[in-house]
Amino acid sequence: MIFNKNQILTYAAILMAGLLLGWFIFGGSNDHNNDHDHEIAAESGNEVWTCSMHPSVREDGPGSCPICGMDLIPARANDAEAEEDDYSMVMTEAAMKLAQVQTAQVKREVPHKELHLPGKIQVDERRVSYVTTHFEGRVRDVKIDFTGAPIQRGDVMASVYSPELITAQRELIEAAKNRDRNPRLYESAKRKFLLWEFTEDQIRNIVETGEVQDEMEILSPVDGFVVKRNVVDEQHVMEGTVVYEVINLDDIWVVLEAYEEDIAWISVGDPIHFRTRGNPGNSWEAEVSFIDPVVDPQKRTIRVRGDIQNANHDLKPDMLVRGNLHAGMDSEKLMVPASSVLWTGPRSLVYVKDTSVDVPRFEVREVELGPKAGDYYVIEEGVEEGEEVVFHGNFRIDSEMQLADRFSMMNREPGAGAVPVHDHGDMDMDDDHDHEAMEAADDDPHEHTGAVDGATDDFRQDFISLLELYISGKEALFSSDFDAAAEAFRDAGEELESIGMHRMDGDAHMRWMQQYEAIEGHLNHILEAGDLDGQREGFAALSHILIEAVKNYEIPGVVYHQYCPMEDAHWLSTEEEIENPYAPETMPSCGEVIERIDR
């Protein structure tokens, strides 16, 4: 191809412009940044190099990050503007992006909560009638001879023969003949029949005919359905025998089961909307009319009752229902996203972003939790309206805080000894490296991983069952099976509940009370998660507590404390082989054995 002079000049001009622009963007800016960085280094006497993923790493020169192996970069100039201490950490923009840190403002509003409560239809206990014999006798001619039979008030149910009843009839007839002279005697004889639950018509028939009946009819006192029949023809009965039980279904109860943590939200008068399992297309409404004052010790639930009119008898006793109850508090409260709260037993933590500096800086705060309102927690103390809290990526920040030996979810005393850091390498660990890792862990134990006095053998055996369900959940996360993980951790919650909080004495009792609440909170976090990422965040926090508990109570058996530096995440396994539950698709074998826990 032949170019003319004008074309050559045009291409040359474009080339020169491109080179000049590249120098300004890359050469000039780099020189400026390098000079600026060197100015900072000159002021401090040393140039500081850090990792974009792990800003807690501080080295005197270039190299690789000891945690993830990434190349170190010079610390930025404005890092100096945001000072770190035992309760805060500065992150690079790159680290924030990799950790997917997201924040939300603390808001003030009236908390509302939608409660989804299981329950069933039950008979109104006030609508149950018992047909009872008030004298000794023999039942004859049973008319209602099967349960479930509909019946109306005044219908004949059976007849009864009784010598006592015959004597009473004679007394009534004689008293009626002389009632003008002795009305009190007549009223007394008549009252006896009324107390025996005979009707005015039956009494009038005896008086008017003047004849003693060998058998008298037992009549239904109410409309309803016979739910129990306790007699047959010619059966001998004693005084007080219940011969029939009748219920009226025109008015019934819907009884819902509310969990302990929901009790504070429920008040008499709250509206209830519910559906039956057999007819989910129809819904019914009721109001809370009664809240049981006693918690079921097995289910840990409390009964919430509503009254319903049921004239068409569409609702049957023992039908299963699912109720929705919308509840709200009386005043405005400070609220943060539920995922922003890190449970650690009686203490709960949030990470607050410092908006006064240009560099991302996060401060850990202890907060006093109120009740949970949907996807939010009420905060009684610890944050202010308008502050920004981390609701995604807070586990990653907490891991960095722990690695830097600062105040964090698992480190109550900064400077007491951080979690040991291990080289990631290519994940091919030899025996020497594994041995060194275990020795390092033994030389630098966690503050709360020592054995405590007061644990019992019964508790240890029950804890093993909880640990087995945890392992099942870990395996489900490794398989990326959301439903299987949810089922395993749901079962773990039930097992935790069966273990209970009050199982030991002394130091073990105090420690377990804290850990119980933390484990319960992390299990709830997992069960409320809508995806695998959410489950894994809760699993990371749960693992910290269980690692501590296994050591505290000297749980028998062999488990491996494993750690993935790329995810800054820990877990327990019954197998030495690494199966990373946090990144099974991309790094299934990323990790190493921190220690073998053998009791």
Q: Residues 6 or more apart from 410 whose CB is under 8 A from it?
A: 344, 402, 419, 446, 448, 544, 548
Q: What's the pLDDT score for residue 25?
A: 37
Greatest mean pLDDT among 47-51, 369-373, 531-535: 531-535
For the chain, percent of residues with pLDDT exceeding 90: 41
- The mean pLDDT value for 289-312 works out to 90
Whether the Cβ atoms of residue 405 and residue 417 lie closer than 8 Å to each other:
yes
Residue 41: its pLDDT value, please?
43
Q: Structurally, what CATH architecture does the domain formed by 114-124+249-328 represent?
A: Beta Barrel (2.40)
List, for residues 260-286, the tens digit of each pLDDT value: 778 888 989 999 999 998 777 788 999
Beta-strand runs (E) in 141-270 = 150-151, 156-161, 215-219, 224-229, 236-237, 242-247, 251-259
Across-strand partners of 335? 107, 378
pTM of the predicted structure, to 2 decimals:
0.52
Give the integer Cα–Cα distance in Å for 242 and 130: 6
- The first and second tokens of residue 273, run together, are 């909307």
Give domain limits for the chain: 5-92, 102-111+332-403, 114-124+249-328, 134-240, 431-598
**From CA 50, how far away is CA 54, in angstroms rounded?**
7
Per DSSP, the residues of 422-487 read: ---TTS---HHHHHHHHHHHHHS--TT-S--TT--HHHHHHHHHHHHHHHHHHHHHHTT-HHHHHH
Q: What is the pLDDT of residue 465?
A: 93
Give the pLDDT mean for 136-159.
91
- pLDDT at 29 > cutoff 50: no
Whether residue 22 is predicted with pLDDT greater than 60 in this model: the reply is: no
* CATH architecture of residue range(s) 102-111+332-403: Beta Barrel (2.40)
Give the residue with greater pLDDT, 85 vs 410: 85
User: Per mean pLDDT, which range of 57-61, 158-162, 452-456 is the poorest?
Assistant: 57-61
User: What pLDDT, in 10s, does the model give residues 110-129?
Assistant: 998 888 889 999 999 999 99
How far apart are alpha carbons 111 and 268 in whole angstroms?
Answer: 18
pLDDT value at 23 more than 70: no
Higher pLDDT, 417 or 426: 417
Under 8 Å between Cβ of 548 and 542: no
pLDDT in tens, 303-357: 999 999 999 999 999 999 999 998 888 889 999 998 888 876 556 899 999 988 8
pLDDT in the model for residue 496: 92
**pLDDT at 186 exceeding the cut of 60:** yes
pLDDT given at position 8: 45
pLDDT of residue 242: 92
Q: Chain centroid to CA 591: how far?
A: 30
- Residue from 172, 171, 168 nearest 160 by CA: 168
